[in-house]
Structure 1
Amino acid sequence: MSIYERIESLIISKSMTKKEFCQKLGISTGNLGDWKRGKSSPGTNKLIDIASYFDVSLDWLMTGRERQQQTILERRENYSVDEIDWVHLLSQLTDEEKAFIQEYLEFTAYRRNLKKRGVK
């Protein structure tokens, strides 16, 4: 199932029309049509808005899968005090803020991998 198909299923589940969806989220019907035809995809900020509006995770909206969540205690690994503090700080953020930080971390890891391969 594509991102568009997941969005469409959310629209249907809320008994909305596509026009109502577009108006509520500030999306042009032309953009929605482009997403359907695969000409373009929603940008990161729009995906965050859609996930927030429908109360679904960004992971599910993008991949159709939910992340498996485990608490630190369930994993029974040794974490430093700093790492536990990070988890505590993250728990205080909004979903949008968490998504922004996750994107930044993924981008940083991507750049590091490029450097390892000698790509600038």
Structure 2
Amino acid sequence: MNIGNQILNIRKENQLTQEEFGKLFHVTRQTVSNWENGKSYPDLQVLVDISNQFGVSLDTLLKEDSKMVQSIDEERAMGIIKHEKSIVDFFTGAGTGIVVSCLFSPDSSIRTTAIIVGIIMIGIGWYKKSKNDKKIFQYMKEQNNFEKKY
């Protein structure tokens, strides 16, 4: 049984319309319909709220729906990847900005120090990017192996 069927059963057992169920979790009737039809999934916090509200364990809600678990894992992984990318962008962007701005300033020890700091920041950005790329490739490899199994 998938998460949509679980939600449908919980809703019907408690004699709630989709609209009433949606109001409990601050979503629209259409969102509840999409959950029940497998077009989308509730986020993890909503699943916790459903579990608490109706006394159904998260294990029961999630365990039988491997697609749902995979979807949550993908969202979590994408969040981590986006966070890492923002760090890489900061270091490379700030480092580049420092180096470029120093090109137009007069020679001084401060300029030299700033250029060195900028180059180090660019290097850190590149290093973090290579580590992040390895994580992405590893994740893609794991996903490919998961899809081959199922």
TM-score by length of 1: 0.51
Contact 1:3 1:63 in 2 (8 A): no
Q: In the alignment, what sits opposite 1:2? A: 2
- Write the distance in 1 (CA, Å) between the matches of 2:43 and 2:53: 15
Structure 1 CA distance, aligned partners of 2:41 and 2:64? 15
Report the secondary structure of 2:16's partner residue: coil
Name which one, 1 or 2, has greater alpha-carbon Rg: 2
The runs of 5 or more residues in structure 1 that have no matched partner are 66-102, 108-114
Report the equivalent of 2:21.
21
In the alignment, what sits opposite 2:130?
Answer: none
2:60 aligned partner, one-letter code: W
User: How far apart, CA to CA, are the structure 1 residues paired with 2:36 and 2:10?
Assistant: 14
Output the amino acid matched with 1:58. L
Cross-structure match for 1:53: 53
What is the CA–CA distance in structure 1 between the aligned matches of 2:2 and 2:138, rounded to whole Å? 31
Counting helix residues as a fraction of each chain, which structure ranks higher?
Answer: 2
Residues matched between the structures, number:
76
Taking structure 1 as reference, are residues 57 and 15 closer, same or farther at Cα in structure 2, changes over 3 Å only? same
2:18 and 2:38 mapped to 1: Cα distance?
17
8 Å contact from structure 2 (residues 4, 35) kept in 1: yes
Give the distance between the partners of 1:42 and 1:119, measured in 2 at CA: 27
Q: Percent identity?
A: 30
RMSD: 3.2
Post-superposition shift, 1:64?
A: 4.5
> Could you tell me which residue of structure 1 aligns to residue 138 of structure 2?
119
